[in-house]
Structure 1
């Protein structure tokens, strides 16, 4: 259990540092350790992400399917009041697509609108799982108002 918490701490730090490769590897590790019989849809991926980022609950309120813009964000991390210095985070999940599709959906559907109070400190993260090679990929960007 201690190792899982350390892994979760490290994964959160990698996300803050925008280390896409390490985030993808950390999620893959969590996926391998979680006993999900059917890892074949975005819901299973969402559960894996939430368990992988368990430690983030220290800093964030984590919300699934937050209404925003023209749809629902898959996962939002909203900083707790005493951690307002932390970036808010929007995570969009894809299954057998690619991270560019996830990032495009974030912008096309105006998901950052749901976190207007954080647009000067907002990370956007797209995560895709490729079923054929059983690999995760990640793209992280700092949101900039246009």
Structure 2
């Protein structure tokens, strides 16, 4: 699928007006080889613990995008090079982290798209604390499992329906 987030916004002003299409705030940095990616959303809510991130990415991604509400923590990384490679190998289109990643050179070698607030060298805890497939808030934007995410160099969109 070829798209531009600018065109999607221009083509769907009514969805923007009524909230069925939302834009994540600027500030999410790009990692991975896929600058442009899209897919149906799977959600996680975790805080400085990535055990659920690993178990989710171990499952077939089927072209989906994992959206991780990490509480915008800048104190630990939730995704590193091993998890990005796992996501790539299991067919995930991308990952959006409301928090940090690490091993950025390794992530940048993977054929997926990743957005995150920044990088941090410290790994996360592995206690398995968190929730899967619930409504989350990323940068003030509500994201539901089954929504559609569209990301490119100009931004990240969350749509309640697949956009043509």
The structure whose residues are more often helix, as a share, is 1
The structure whose residues are more often strand, as a share, is 2
* TM more than 0.5: no
TM-score (norm 2): 0.27
TM-score (norm 1): 0.29
